[in-house]
C-alpha cells in the first residue's frame, strides 16, 4: 500500500539509509536458492538474446535447457554459450518437444513477440518478454489480456522496475527530498547505424527490421518505451498527449526511419517530459532527470545522483552520502546499501551497479516464479509503456500531436 508523503517522511527521516540494510526491504532482490533450478528456454539468439544468455548463467536459480532461433548460425552460437541446451528452429517445435521447460525468455524482434508470447502463455509457461512487448497497440493489448487470464507469471522486460538504484531513487522522489515536481527530461544518444549485415543476402531485411517502417516503431518505440516507463513508474500516472518530430540527419543510406527524434510528453498536471534520441552522436549517453523544488534526480541505468538545492532542508541521511562533482554542481551518489558499506569503510565501492540492469530483472523473474509473487513489471505495465512508445513514434512520423485517451491505455 502506498504511503502518503508525510507518513513516508516520518518513517524515513534519519533512517532511510538503514532501510537498505534490511533484507525484506532491500532494493535489490536476492537471487533465490532452489533445490531444483527452473528449467528455462531462450527464444531469439540475436545480439540481445546472447546478452541475456550471458546474464542467465550468473543466476543459479535458472538452468538453460533449450534455445531457439530460425537462423542456424545464431542457434549454434547460442548452444555454444549455453552448453548442453537443446536447439530448436521454431518456438512451436520447442513447445512441442521440450516438455521440461517451465519458463521462457522472448528476445526476438519486437514485431514477432505476439504469436510467440500467446503460444507460450497457452502452453502454461512462465514468460519474460522483452520490451517493447509488441509493435502494434492491438498486439500489446492481446498479450496483456492473455497474461491476465493465465495462472502462470508474465514479466515485461522493463528494467528500471528491478534496478536497485532506480528503486532507491524512487524512494527519495516520493519523499520531501525532491518535493514539488517541476519538469522532466531524458535522452538516449548512441552513435550506431541500426544497420547490420545478414548472414545471407536474402536475410538482410530480417536483420534490419528496425529500419523497416512496416514493422519498426523507431527510436521512440524501441528506445523510448523503456525510458517513458521510468516516469510511469515514478509518477504513477500516464501522459495525456505526445508531440513529436524526427528526421534523417546523417544516415542517408536509403532508410525511412528517422535517425534523430524529439518528443514533448505532456502530463495532466502540466508537467512536460522533453525526450530526445539519436543514432548520430554519443555525448551524454542515456539518462532520465526529474527536477523538483528541493532537488533533481539524474538516473543513468547503472548510476544515479541527487542534486540538492541550497535551500533544501537537511534530512539526516546526508552523513552517509558519497559526493561527486559535475562542473559547478555537486551530486550525491545514490547507493542502495549506503549504511552497510559506510560501516565497512567501502562506501565508494557501492557507486554503480555490480551487474547489468538485465541481471536484476532476470533475478526478479526467478524470485517471482519461486515465491509465486507478482512480477516486478507486469504485462499491463509492459503494454502501457509499449503503447506510449508506439504513440510517440506515430507523433514523430506524423510530426504532430497525438492525444492519449483512457481507451488507448485501457487493457
pLDDT tens per residue, range 375-387: 999 999 999 999 9
Is the pLDDT at 11 greater than 80? The verdict is no
Indicate the pLDDT class of residue 343, thresholds 50, 70 and 90.
very low
Is the pLDDT at 399 greater than 90? The verdict is yes
pTM of the model: 0.90
* Amino acid 337: pLDDT: 57
Indicate the pLDDT class of residue 320, thresholds 50, 70 and 90.
low
**Which of 114-128, 165-179, 336-350 bottoms out in mean pLDDT, i.e. has the lowest?**
336-350
Task: Give 39's strand partners.
Answer: 63
Q: What are the tens digits of pLDDT across the range 124-153? A: 999 999 999 999 999 999 999 999 999 999
* Amino acid 313: pLDDT: 83
- Residues counted in the chain: 411
Is the pLDDT at 21 greater than 90? The verdict is no
Is the pLDDT at 310 greater than 80? The verdict is yes
**Which of 147-161, 217-231, 300-314, 315-329 bottoms out in mean pLDDT, i.e. has the lowest?**
315-329
Is the pLDDT at 322 greater than 80? The verdict is no
* Amino acid 17: pLDDT: 35
Indicate the pLDDT class of residue 10, thresholds 50, 70 and 90.
very low
| Overall average pLDDT of the 226-237 stretch | 97
9 or 393, which is more confident: 393
Indicate the pLDDT class of residue 336, thresholds 50, 70 and 90.
low
Kindly list the structural domains of the chain, giving each domain's residue range(s) and its CATH number in brackets, ordered by start: 5-23+161-354+385-403 (3.30.360.10), 30-159 (3.40.50.720)
The mean pLDDT of the chain is 89
342 or 330, which is more confident: 330
* Amino acid 201: pLDDT: 67
* Amino acid 152: pLDDT: 98
* Amino acid 119: pLDDT: 98
**Which of 163-167, 174-178, 315-319 bottoms out in mean pLDDT, i.e. has the lowest?**
315-319
What are the cell numbers at 373?
509473487
Residue from 253, 250, 158, 246 nearest 208 by CA: 253
Question: How many percent of the chain have pLDDT more than 70?
Answer: 87
Indicate the pLDDT class of residue 351, thresholds 50, 70 and 90.
low
Indicate the pLDDT class of residue 321, thresholds 50, 70 and 90.
low
Contact between 41 and 95 under an 8 Å Cβ cutoff? The reply is no
Is the pLDDT at 323 greater than 90? The verdict is no
Question: How many percent of the chain have pLDDT more than 90?
Answer: 77
Amino acid at each position: 500500500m502506498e504511503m502518503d508523503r508525510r507518513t513516508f517522511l516520518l518513517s524515513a527521516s534519519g533512517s532511510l539509509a538503514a532501510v537498505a540494510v534490511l533484507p525484506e526491504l532491500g532494493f535489490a532482490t536476492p537471487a533465490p536458492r532452489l533445490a531444483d533450478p527452473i528449467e528455462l528456454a531462450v527464444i531469439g539468439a540475436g545480439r540481445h538474446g546472447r546478452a541475456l544468455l550471458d546474464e542467465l548463467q550468473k543466476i543459479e536459480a535458472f538452468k538453460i535447457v533449450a534455445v531457439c532461433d530460425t537462423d542456424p548460425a545464431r542457434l549454434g552460437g547460442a548452444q555454444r554459450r549455453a552448453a548442453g541446451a537443446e536447439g530448436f528452429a521454431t518456438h512451436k517445435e520447442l513447445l512441442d518437444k521440450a516438455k521440461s521447460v517451465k519458463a521462457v525468455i522472448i528476445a526476438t524482434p519486437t514485431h514477432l513477440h505476439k504469436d510467440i508470447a500467446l503460444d507460450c502463455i497457452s502452453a502454461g509457461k512462465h514468460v519474460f518478454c522483452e520490451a517493447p512487448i509488441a509493435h502494434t497497440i492491438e498486439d500489446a493489448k492481446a498479450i496483456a489480456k492473455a497474461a491476465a487470464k493465465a495462472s502462470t507469471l508474465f514479466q515485461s522486460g522493463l528494467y528500471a522496475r528491478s534496478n536497485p538504484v532506480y528503486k532507491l531513487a524512487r524512494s527519495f522522489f516520493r519523499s520531501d527530498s525532491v518535493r514539488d515536481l517541476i519538469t522532466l527530461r531524458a535522452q538516449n544518444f548512441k552513435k550506431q547505424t541500426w544497420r547490420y549485415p545478414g548472414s545471407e543476402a536474402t536475410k538482410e531485411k530480417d536483420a534490419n527490421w528496425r529500419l523497416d517502417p512496416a514493422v519498426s516503431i523507431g527510436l521512440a518505440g524501441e528506445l523510448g518505451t523503456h525510458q517513458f516507463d521510468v516516469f510511469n513508474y515514478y509518477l504513477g500516472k500516464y501522459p495525456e498527449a505526445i508531440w513529436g518530430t524526427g528526421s534523417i540527419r546523417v544516415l542517408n543510406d536509403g532508410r525511412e526511419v528517422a535517425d534523430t527524434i524529439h518528443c514533448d510528453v505532456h502530463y495532466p498536471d502540466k508537467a512536460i517530459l522533453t525526450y530526445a534520441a539519436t543514432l548520430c552522436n554519443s555525448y551524454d549517453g542515456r539518462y532520465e532527470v526529474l527536477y523538483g523544488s528541493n532537488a533533481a534526480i539524474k538516473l543513468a541505468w547503472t548510476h544515479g545522483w541527487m542534486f540538492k538545492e541550497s535551500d533544501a532542508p537537511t534530512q539526516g541521511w546526508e552523513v552517509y552520502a558519497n559526493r561527486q562533482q559535475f562542473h559547478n554542481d555537486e551530486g550525491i551518489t545514490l547507493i542502495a546499501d549506503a549504511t552497510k558499506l559506510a560501516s565497512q569503510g567501502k562506501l565508494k565501492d557501492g557507486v554503480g551497479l555490480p551487474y547489468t540492469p538485465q541481471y536484476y530483472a532476470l533475478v526478479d523473474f526467478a524470485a517471482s516464479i519461486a515465491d509465486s509473487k507478482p512480477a516486478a513489471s507486469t504485462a499491463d505495465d509492459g503494454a502501457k509503456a509499449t503503447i506510449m512508445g508506439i504513440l510517440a513514434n506515430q507523433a514523430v512520423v506524423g510530426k504532430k500531436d497525438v492525444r492519449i485517451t483512457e481507451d488507448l491505455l485501457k487493457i
